[in-house]
Amino acid sequence: MSGLNDRRRTLAVDGEPVVTGLVAIGDAWASTNPSLGRGSTMGLIHACLLRGVLRQAMTRR
């Protein structure tokens, strides 16, 4: 468990998306040191933000 660095994944290269229609949340978006306890909090925040975006998109229909 030693030497774990925080890392964030990106789905864009030079500002252009590599893939569309894919949403990375929680551990799919980033890896953090588990001793700091940020993983589950980040996943919940991402899930709430995604829910808000999807709700907004559905009301525009």
Decide if pLDDT at 3 tops 70. Answer: no
Find the domain containing 12 and state its range.
Answer: 7-59
Q: Which two tokens stand for residue 45?
A: 């925040």
β-partners of residue 7 are 31
Domain assignment present for 2: no
Per-residue pLDDT of 12-32, as tens digits, reads 999 999 999 888 888 888 888
Domain assignment present for 43: yes
Angle at 24 between CA 10 and CA 54, to 5 degrees: 125
The answer to whether the pTM exceeds 0.85 is no
Phi, psi of 40, deg, nearest 5: -70, -35
Question: Rg for the chain (alpha carbons), in Å?
Answer: 14
Q: Which two tokens stand for residue 22?
A: 């894919």
Domain count, the chain: 1
Domain assignment present for 1: no
Q: Which two tokens stand for residue 3?
A: 């030497």
